[in-house]
Chains A and B, each alone.
Chain A
Amino acid sequence: MLKPLLARLKQGHRTITYPDGEPPAMPDRFRGRPVIDASKCVEGCRACIEACPTEALTAERLPQVDLGKCLFCADCSEACPQHAITHLQDYRLSTRTREDLFVGAQDELRLARALDAKLKRLFGRSLRLRQVSAGGCNACEADVNVLSTIGWDIGRFGIQMVASPRHADGILVTGCVSENMRLALEKTYEAVPAPKLVIVVGACAISGGPYAGHSQQHNGVEGLLPIDLYIPGCPPHPLTILDGLLRLLGRIEVDSVRIQSK
């Protein structure tokens, strides 16, 4: 009886203070939002585009990254002979629309706006989510799970993962939506009472990720269900997920971040 209490004393209080305090520091090698310094690009060079495993990089005239496809791997930056691509430490990536995830060299990233007044009144202080893994690799699932541990404690914001879709205000989907999970995903969505939200977490759920194009899956949730929040990453850092959820609920209010090179 005394030992657990003593252990509790030794382990201390560990919940992060963010968003009131500073967010936890990202590791120095953390690959957040990729930025391209187009002034360094050499005419006709396609090294990054060819290296990208998921065709997240495209170039009409200037290169553009689709954060919804990006695996945040180091393949492009390693392939670039000009060192024009770098990954910022910036963990803020979530958007409300698919289009906002396409970012060019000089664009602003339009971060997720809050829900409209009616939905915010409903969900702003109490959001129950049913998580559905539909072809996920268990990394997105793990870092969603982390948010319920004492370190992150999303219960502070009234957010809770629930077992039954009937108790939920929305679903949080991970995975490329395997054909074998499609029906279960649709049924789970139907079982949630309206109004309801759909949040997609990770490159797979947004675009199919490394499985895009396989006949056994559906390239993510797009086209199957209406999506309210996109959280990119492979997997997104827990802070990226938390940031997205808090923006959706109107707890963080900066609208966009300027894209700039280091």
Chain B
Amino acid sequence: MTSSAFAKTWNGEALALIDVPRRPIDQFRVALIDAVKARCRVSSLFVRRPTESGKPELVAVLTDDSDGSVLIGIGALEGERYASLTPSCPQVHLFEREIAEQTGVAPEGHPWLKPVRFPDKADQRNARIGEMDFFKVDGDEVHEVAVGPVHAGVIEPGHFRFQCHGEEVFHLEISLGYQHRGVEDALVDGPHNRTIHVMETLAGDTTVGHAWAYSQNVEALSRVHVSAHAQVVRAIALELERLANHTGDLGALAGDVGFLPTQSFCGRIRGDLLNMTALLCGNRFGRSLVVPGGVRFMLEPERATELKKRLETAERDLQIAVNLLWESATVQGRFEQTGMVSRTACVDLGLVGPAARACGVEVDIRSTHPTGVYQFTNIPLATAHHGDVNSRAYVRWLEIQRSIVFIRERLNSLPASDSLSSRRELAADSIAASLIEGWRGEICHVAITGSNGKFSSYKVTDPSFHNWTGLSMALRNQPISDFPLCNKSFNLSYCGFDL
């Protein structure tokens, strides 16, 4: 069944659209549910229109972690509705809400097709942001707490609605969309001048991850080869991005339990790591580094030596700063068994990244669907098993250590520098799916070109899209005062979600 409804391909490869199986929606629906039950995850699901047939089509990109393949299939819709997949396959719940909001195609039988981003369109079916019903709990001593969009801190906006019984949270509903600035609309008919800059700022703390995912799609569609040097520089930049953000997160987690030494040290070390990215390309977030065809800035031997020196210092400082966390009983007391997410919930919801690995689920694109230099070097996959704040913190620490080893090895065997591959036209009427393991988890970009070789649709899925629901689950039966700590242990992107 699976083999007939999906084309089997690999991460960062392009297919002619004509080679992607098109099944009637009922058949497609069963095939997708079976594939997910067997072993696949849904990395992307969206409705494409206009199409050659004039009817909307449901496009699914599945990842099979057992053999590293990517499955792409199309379900041909007969009208503006189809039977929702969510009741049988909960991990697509948000994809289907997104489909309903963006295209008006209704997945019937979905538990609640709430707005996702409140896109500002004249279209009447879209609700206004801040005006909607929330899941409500009624009863004696039950009360509601509403927080945001503006939060108490230098942080992006979002709205959180807690249903509480005393201090205990029964349910947390997260309503986003405040950062919606029309990313996907702007990508249609690209690539153009601005495309790479939209990618770089889609989630500013994941500049390298998104720029790479995009570049990989363009390279697949134009059959451009990227030099070994550029591949290594990309991987170093991606791991530096991971290091900086994980370090920042560990510091912030320490801050949220009032453990100031690690908070202060990590805040500063994070800066040192960002400055290492700036050493590569002049910008602390990796802007202008990764472009289709390779990287804009080469890594010369002297620069590599300097980087290695700084990495060593950062490693030493990190060892001292972070180990304080595991040695402090008060920190452990606050981290352990706080914000637990069960392995079952994690798999059902399709969580990704450190949040999933903290539940013992072995998902990591660098291991399961490697591209570039990750095909030749294995970064051991880091897992923990309790799904609590402590596990999410500890997975980050393991990943920090492994990324440092990885970068050092790459710096020790740097391929000779090579120029940027020249650009070529994109193949017409094709589809490519690109997966990159960003620091928050799986980034998935799907590009479809029209007959003119321009993007007819471009779908971005930031890891936060999968993981916000994980945060809701983590809050169940927790004291509301633990929200900041739980939130920080996920540290999800608002802008990457809102697009």
Contact = CB atoms under 8 A, between A and B. Distances in A.
Nearest to A15: B268
Nearest to A130: B150
A123 interface: no
Given A178-B180, A180-B177, A215-B182, A139 B193 contact: no
B227 interface: no
Interface in A1-54: 3-4, 7-8, 10-11, 14, 27-31, 51-54
B204 interface: yes
B320 interface: yes
A54 B296 CA distance: 19
Given A137-B495, A149-B264, A180 B204 contact: no
Contacts of B203: 137-138
Interface stretch (A68-76, A112-120, A221-229): A68-76
A51 B193 CA distance: 7
A78 B177 CA distance: 36
B26 interface: no
Given A75-B193, A181-B157, A210 B201 contact: yes
Interface string A111-149: 000000000000000000001111111111111111011
Contacts of B185: 214, 216
Contact of A31 (B186, B279, B280, B283): B283
Contact of B278 (A14, A30, A151): A30
B278 A216 contact: no
Contacts of B149: 181, 184
B267 interface: yes
A95 interface: no
Interface in B155-211: 155-157, 177-182, 185-186, 193-194, 196-198, 200-205, 207
A184 B150 contact: yes
Contacts of B265: 7, 11
A90 interface: no
Interface stretch (B58-66, B217-225, B284-292): B284-292
Contacts of B495: 135-138
Contact of A179 (B120, B154, B207): B120
Interface in A171-199: 175-176, 178-181, 183-184, 188
Given A73-B197, A136-B156, A178 B264 contact: no
Given A139-B205, A184-B157, A234-B287, A178 B271 contact: no
B179 A136 contact: yes
Nearest to B272: A151
A163 interface: yes
Contact of A134 (B130, B157, B177, B280): B157
B194 A27 contact: no
A216 B180 contact: yes
Contact of B150 (A8, A188, A238): A188
A92 B177 CA distance: 34
Nearest to B199: A210
B95 interface: no
Contacts of B283: 30-31, 72
B155 A133 contact: yes
A133 B278 CA distance: 24
A181 B281 CA distance: 32
A133 B205 CA distance: 14
B282 interface: yes
B275 interface: yes
B193 A8 contact: no
B493 interface: yes
A54 B317 contact: no
B213 interface: no
A217 interface: yes
Contacts of B278: 27, 29-30
Contacts of B285: 139, 142, 235
Contacts of A235: 204, 284-285
A139 B130 CA distance: 25
B304 interface: no
B152 interface: yes
A78 B196 CA distance: 15
A11 B320 contact: yes
A142 B267 CA distance: 11
B199 to A, nearest CB: 9
A151 B268 contact: yes
Interface in B323-343: 324, 327-328
Contacts of B279: 27, 29
A73 B193 contact: no
B261 interface: yes
B182 A163 contact: no
Given A29-B281, A150-B264, A135 B179 contact: yes
A211 interface: yes
A242 interface: no
Contacts of B202: 137
A165 to B, nearest CB: 8
B297 interface: yes
Contacts of B152: 163-164
B181 A178 contact: yes
B324 A7 contact: yes
B119 interface: yes
B118 interface: yes
B133 to A, nearest CB: 18
B129 interface: yes
B448 interface: no
A14 B130 CA distance: 43
A217 to B, nearest CB: 5
A209 interface: yes
A145 B154 contact: yes
Nearest to B119: A216
A75 B296 CA distance: 10
A237 interface: yes
A161 interface: yes
A148 B263 CA distance: 12
B155 A141 contact: yes
A41 to B, nearest CB: 20
Nearest to B117: A180
Contacts of B178: 135, 178, 180-181, 184
A149 B201 contact: no
B321 interface: yes
B335 to A, nearest CB: 17
B153 interface: yes
B275 A27 contact: yes
15 contacts: A4-B261, A29-B282, A30-B278, A53-B193, A87-B282, A138-B203, A139-B201, A141-B154, A146-B271, A164-B152, A180-B498, A184-B178, A210-B201, A217-B181, A238-B271
Closest 4 CB pairs of A and B: A139-B204, A137-B204, A29-B282, A163-B152
Given A133-B155, A161-B154, A181-B178, 12 more contacts: A7-B324, A27-B279, A31-B283, A132-B150, A133-B494, A142-B205, A149-B268, A150-B268, A151-B271, A161-B153, A180-B120, A184-B157
